[in-house]
Amino acid sequence: MEKISRRLFLKKAVAGLAVMAVSPSLLACDADDAEGAKIRKIAPLAGCYDVVVVGGGPAGFIAAIAAARRGAKVAIIERYGFFGGMATTGYVAPISVFALKNELVIGGIPWEFVKRLESMGGAFIEWPKANIDFDIELYKLCCQRMILEAGVDIYTHSAMVGCQIAGKSIDSVIIENKNGLETLEAKVFIDCTGDGDLAHMAEVPMQPNPDNELQPSSFCFILSGVDTDSELLNKCMYHNGINGPSQCKPVREKLLKMKAEGVDMPDFGGPWFNNVLHKGSVAVNMTRRATDSTNNRNFSATECQLREDIFTFTKILKENFKEFKNCYVASTAPQAGIRESRRILGVHTVTADEYVSAFKYEDSISRGIHPIDIHASKGTNQVRIDLNKPAYVPYRALITKEYPNLLVAGRCISTDRQALASLRVMASCMGTGQAAGAAAAQAVANNQKVQDIDTAQLVGVLKEWGAVL
Ligand SMILES: Cc1cc2nc3c(=O)[nH]c(=O)nc-3n(C[C@H](O)[C@H](O)[C@H](O)COP(=O)(O)OP(=O)(O)OC[C@H]3O[C@@H](n4cnc5c(N)ncnc54)[C@H](O)[C@@H]3O)c2cc1C
């Protein structure tokens, strides 16, 4: 049998384990050789699965449920102690968008999640676009209930810090938690880390970024003591396009004027004051700074500056707008929000032209209808291109040419910068997560590479679940 090299990529590579000769093991949980045993001394085997999903955000938790519902034995790895990704770790709201003119564009498990959350009193659906305002704590609870009911094994408080690959096939991922380092083997892996961490560690080629331009990071926070019954907030807190633009224009204009007159304040976006379903409280999205979230020193420093900005803006709001005169920072999000970082170079890259013209691919597996929404990395501006028709996403944007058992979903799929600026929203990420989960289970059931699965069969399953394709 052909000898290929297995490589262990650990954040801090463990000396002596870098290159090992073993037999290939496509779609198999069988790294039971001497070298595998050596690695397990450092990182004992915690579980062997059909599908391992890395990252429990909108893409990841839906992917895990989808794979499990197609009969796969599934694990989900999440570095925080709860699920939801940017919705719960970034206080990003609302979930955008499921519909166009009251017609669902993204259906199936993502919509089932919304309806379940609504039945728990945790979601308010803003028709006609079906932006979803939500209660952050009930979102976490609803996620975990649906994940557990699907029979998925949960590894929370676990950061994925490495992977072991043979050729281009990923054998296992290494996680770090209170137990130390642990190994999880699987036949197929789905990278839903937002930043494409697993793909990056496995040396998957990424989209080029020649201009070194990234959308800025924003640190969202909850302001309480806000007069949410006021006319101003009632106009600004909704995103249905009926009450007016969701960006709070009166506040924006006054802040821009103050800035032009020399009042010292950082750059800001919006502001957006998002409904969290609790009287007196809003989730505020207005801070912004350019950063690279994949560079730890850079991101840590930016987050400290953004935290200062939160309190600077709170003071400004308090002193200049009567609706905010009693407000206070009730909570800052567990982390600053990330709009853009790594994206894989997939078999197909979704381009802005395809996206805006709603090009329908043979292997379309999901949709998107949010505007292309590019926030300037510096300054207060934002470019928006509204879509007339819902766009499509091909299965080929979730896979690479060479890696037989890796799928990605969510923010790190293969798109150009413009298409990402729409597809990054949470309903769209759930849509690609649903497709990736279903595809992973299908690859396992048929012992096929992810590149070889029957996409007509995949689309059939997604439609049965309610996807609008
Ligand atoms: C400021 C801001 C405002 C936004 N506004 C909106 C909006 O109004 N509406 C909307 O729908 N979208 C909005 N978005 C976009 C949206 O929130 C994200 O693009 C979306 O959440 C991406 O989903 P995801 O599942 O790909 O990744 P994420 O939501 O980032 O989830 C990734 C998950 O993986 C986990 N993870 C990452 N790395 C590891 C690792 N190594 N090991 C273990 N776990 C890991 C993370 O903890 C996280 O839970 C906004 C984003 C930002 C930053």
pLDDT digits (tens, 9 = 90+) for 188-244: 999 999 999 999 999 999 999 988 889 999 999 999 999 999 999 998 999 877 655
Q: How many domains does the chain have?
A: 2
Contact predicate 77/175, CB 8 Å: yes
Strands 45-54 and 180-191: parallel
Q: Examine the pLDDT at 29 and tell me if it is beyond 70.
A: no
Confidence class for position 5, pLDDT limits 50, 70, 90 = low
**Helix, strand or coil for residue 276?**
coil
Query: Is 214 contained in some domain?
Result: no
Contact predicate 53/67, CB 8 Å: yes
Q: By alpha-carbon position, which residue is closest to atom 5 of ligand 1? A: 92
Instruction: Examine the domain organization and report whether 201 and 292 are in the same domain.
Output: no
Query: Is 225 contained in some domain?
Result: yes
Q: Examine the pLDDT at 389 and tell me if it is beyond 60.
A: yes
Query: Is 71 contained in some domain?
Result: yes
Instruction: Examine the domain organization and report whether 22 and 129 are in the same domain.
Output: yes
Instruction: Examine the domain organization and report whether 148 and 272 are in the same domain.
Output: no
Cross-strand bridge partners of residue 262? none
463: left (phi over 0), alpha (psi -120 to 50) or beta: alpha
Name the percent of the chain lying above pLDDT 70.
Answer: 91
Instruction: Examine the domain organization and report whether 203 and 86 are in the same domain.
Output: yes
Give residue 466's Cα distance to chain centre.
21
Could you say which of 304, 332, 360 is where a domain stops? Answer: 332
Could you say which of 332, 350, 372 is where a domain stops? Answer: 332
Query: Is 285 contained in some domain?
Result: yes
Instruction: Examine the domain organization and report whether 262 and 306 are in the same domain.
Output: yes
Residue list, ligand 1 pocket, CB within 6 Å = 54-60, 77-80, 85-86, 89-90, 92, 94-96, 159-160, 192-195, 197, 218, 220, 285, 337-339, 410-411, 424-426, 429
Query: Is 213 contained in some domain?
Result: no
Instruction: Examine the domain organization and report whether 281 and 355 are in the same domain.
Output: no
Q: What is the pLDDT of residue 135?
A: 98
Higher pLDDT pick, 36 / 260: 260
- Which residue in this structure is represented by tokens 């997939």? 346
Instruction: Examine the domain organization and report whether 144 and 81 are in the same domain.
Output: yes
Average pLDDT of the residues in 448-454: 98
Tokens found for residue 371? 């505007």
Could you say which of 284, 301, 332 is where a domain stops? Answer: 332
Q: Examine the pLDDT at 15 and tell me if it is beyond 50.
A: no
Q: Examine the pLDDT at 177 and tell me if it is beyond 50.
A: yes
Query: What does pLDDT average to over the chain?
Result: 92
Q: What is the pLDDT of residue 246?
A: 79
Q: How many CB atoms lie within 10 A of CB 390?
A: 19
Amino acid at 332: T
Contact predicate 385/372, CB 8 Å: yes
pTM of the model: 0.94
Name the percent of the chain lying above pLDDT 90.
Answer: 84
Query: Is 73 contained in some domain?
Result: yes
For residues 89, 93, 98, 100, the Cα torsion angle rounded to the nearest 10 degrees is -160
Minimum-distance ligand 1 atom for the alpha carbon of 285: 1
Higher pLDDT pick, 378 / 355: 355
Ligand 1 centre distance from Cα of residue 334 (Å) = 12
Instruction: Examine the domain organization and report whether 77 and 201 are in the same domain.
Output: yes
Instruction: Examine the domain organization and report whether 327 and 189 are in the same domain.
Output: no
Instruction: Examine the domain organization and report whether 326 and 446 are in the same domain.
Output: no
Instruction: Examine the domain organization and report whether 39 and 152 are in the same domain.
Output: yes
Could you tell me how many residues make up the chain? Answer: 469
Confidence class for position 276, pLDDT limits 50, 70, 90 = very high
Q: Report the CATH number at residue 142.
A: 3.50.50.60
Q: What is the pLDDT of residue 13?
A: 44
Query: Is 165 contained in some domain?
Result: yes
| Alpha-carbon gap, residue 235 to 273, rounded angstroms | 10
| Alpha-carbon gap, residue 87 to 92, rounded angstroms | 5
246 contact partners, CB below 8 Å, separation of at least 6: 236, 238, 239, 272
Instruction: Examine the domain organization and report whether 351 and 308 are in the same domain.
Output: no
Tokens found for residue 12? 């801090």
Alpha helices per DSSP H over 120-220: 136-149, 197-201
Confidence class for position 21, pLDDT limits 50, 70, 90 = very low
Which residues form the domain of 374?
4-208+342-465
Average pLDDT of the residues in 350-355: 96
Ligand 1 centre distance from Cα of residue 257 (Å) = 32
Ligand 1 centre distance from Cα of residue 174 (Å) = 22
Query: Is 401 contained in some domain?
Result: yes
Ligand 1 centre distance from Cα of residue 194 (Å) = 6
Confidence class for position 379, pLDDT limits 50, 70, 90 = confident
Contact predicate 445/82, CB 8 Å: no
